[in-house]
Structure 1
Amino acid sequence: MFYIHHPKCRAPLHIVEDCVFTRLRYLKLLYEDKTDDFDGKFEYLFENSIHDNVGHFTLRLIASTSLELRRFWLIRERKLLRHRLDHLLPRQIHRLFRKILRDAKTYEYGSSLYIKNALIIFSTSFLQPQVFAHIAEKEHDNACKLYSCKIYFQSVPDLIRERKIDLNNGYAIVSCSMWKIVLESLFNTMIEHEYKYLNIDMKNIIEMDPRLNLIHKKVRAQLLEEENFRGTITATNIDIESKKFPLCMQHLHRVLRDRHRLSHYARFYYSLFLKECGMELESAIHYWRNEYSKPHSCSSGCTHDWQTSEKKFVYSIRHFYGLEGGRKNYRAPKCEMIQRVIPGPRYEGGCPFKNFEPTALAHLLNDCSITDDIKDQLIKLGKNHPEKACGLFCKNVNNTDKEFIICSPVQYYSNTINLSNQR
């Protein structure tokens, strides 16, 4: 379950592939809290089984080919670990601690001594009979600090960064109520350290093996779903690309160009949309710098400017890209989320079809290449069926016979890019 050492076994290629994609399906459903929908081979997910190990370590190898894949996979793998920890029986927890202790003693990966020692100290401490009996109690308090141990602070950098753990003379204090959180953090640190230690182009190595390369391509297609189409949005071509955006993002783009400012949530949603549609970090910084360096005419309450708040803006953009703060993999909002937030004086976003007044929606549609009949249909359809209205808008703007029901702005842009590529 903790995957310190890779398995020593042989498995046919079709079994390896089956293990990988069974695990991928389960990780996806777990991340979306829909595990009840899983109908795959549960035997490939039994903790400590050969199939479970093969699935994990193959994905671990493939995820090393890019930072993007690594983050995407590791977030879900961490959630799987926590999910399992929450459902373990006391005897299974005891067995897990003993296995971690045994495997940690032979763990060698570059300058990994601090991780090795942290795992040994952690396991040894919580295997003490009185301590283990205490944490195994059903009524164990989530804030209990009766027992604790000290590990090197370098072994839990994410908890230090988020101030979730106490520090004392260079040591992180692990209270008995935090054992699951700390174990999850140690798991993350171990894998991140492994990737840093390798520090080689794993993508080229995988591409040299046709078997792994085939699995790698399939995994990338599934892991990054909507991001497969990733376009070439830059600070210089965004005005042209914005014509391919859904109406909600076209609206935010126009507001930003006109006022040179957006309210917090509008900027947040628009930034995540651009990120998932292919805008690179440096291009994003250039784009927002260009707008926020200009005088504003904003009524949303945002009066910041780039000249006096550059560090804050750069940090914020890097945070959206998962490079600062909790390094969370923020995703662009789905239509459902956008529709829930009502536009007002402090927020200029929202779904034009669902949230805008008919006159405001008509004004937006006037700038689009659609007939008056279609415009009237969109206004009537929008309030009760905004996804269908957006699909009809996509169909007519792109002059296609294909039918769409839009669920997210990224999906809309993906459809438009695919239609453009087919012409």
Structure 2
Amino acid sequence: MRNVELIAMQFSGSRRKKVIGSSQNDLYDHFLQFYAQPPLENISLTEFETFAVERLKLLKTVENLGVSYLKNSDQYVKKIEKEFANLNFPYRTELEERKNQAGPSEYEKRRKDHISHFILRLAYCQTEDLRRWFIQQEMDLFRYRFGLLSAQHKTDFLHKNNLNYDTVSAEEKTILKDKLINSTYGLSGITVEANEFYKVPFQDALDLVRSRKVYLLAGNAFIPHQEIVTIVLNDFRTRLSKALAMTARSLPAVQSDERLQPLLNLLSHAYVGQDYSIQKNIGKISLEQIDALAAKSFPLCKRHLHKALRESHHLRHGGRMQYGLFLKGIGLTLEQALQFWRSEFIRGKVDADKFDKAYAYSIRHMFGKEGKRTDYTPYSCMKVILSNPPSQGDYHGCPFRHSDPELLKQKLQSYKISPSGISQILELVKGMHYQLACQKYFELTHNIEDAGFSLNHPNQYFTESQRFLGGGIKKEIETSQRSQESVSSNATNVSQPPANSQQTNEETGDLDSFFQDE
């Protein structure tokens, strides 16, 4: 076992600086952080991966809830608190901690929160899209946590992080009472006295000044405590954006570490749900059912690929991989897959002999029967969205991510989605919530208000659709299975679960260089 310390650094320069007077207890004396100081300790690869995956689950929940519910509504708070509890991340205020006599377990939660944030920085600094998504979810998470603080705790947090905004004295509030009431929404004479106000340089509060939400005097904006989150979030965004840019410049150091690079690549394309590499319904779906399934239970990306295949009788490699692995995941056997692709391709410009020589190998390869005998897993939503974007003539990819909005609108109209439903989907696409747009598509095509799950995988979409339809297509598939016995009885179950990643206590390499700015 190699012991390698995660050394703390300052981001202000390329030279390491010793952090004077800092300790783990000082670092975790508050449940909320600006994440200014990298981890100070050793961590095993097992813990590295666990922390990262669980924070990613938390951020995906934050994204999902943020567009599904009104923020800070009862439903939003109840669901996000449940996720905090399930994943063991901190969210209580100091006062509540004292009441509950929080011990080492609270310390461990804060440690996990701190380390996991920095791990995902490494994974999500690699592209502009990844950085943008990570910043937005971290900001929403920070906003929720900050809102839990009392006015005094907010002031303490600001001072701890060198945001030294002065609180307005009671005497000054009395003098400016009428002006504060007139310039600040929702205030009365009583609430002015009860509210804390902060005196902030106006250039730090331009959003609030622009929207005329604050009183200006002598170059300062007078901000009520409920609006100070806007200022803090701007600072948080600026710091995190700069930190991600610095981390990105150190990626060559990460890429040289054969232990970390595979983990980070997986995290940036992460799918954290059910494993669809094991075919649970193998042989239960007939080829004659695929058209009906595509219309009722396929996600838009696979419906698009199926339509293109039926019309052009051909798909390029990216489309064949994406669609072929999806079909494998819903239960097609190797023999069925070969029959399906051969029958379609020979209707186009490919004869049977050319298909057997040029295409059959790749299909057997998907099922682990050729090459390295890898039993390939169906693509998750993140992999579809982030890897191998389609070019002209391609039909793979995510329609919500890769389609022109006007073309997407036309496609949705052709599938009889209501105008209001299309507007909701396009609004989610505009906000880069592509998986949530697909989930909304599920709800609209299945005529339900709440899907009741967080969509992360095309095969999950199919499974949930079949569960919802119940005795519909599912019953038809079971009935048609009898007519397919001659095919399925000869089918070989070629799908095997992938080997679990080796559990190891080997510790990570010297990660300090990964966070340096040069």
Q: TM-score if structure 2 supplies the norm length?
A: 0.37
Please identify the structure whose Cα radius of gyration is greater: 2
Taking CA–CA contacts closer than 8 Å with sequence separation of 6 or more, which of the two structures ends up with the larger relative contact order? 2
Q: TM-score if structure 1 supplies the norm length?
A: 0.44
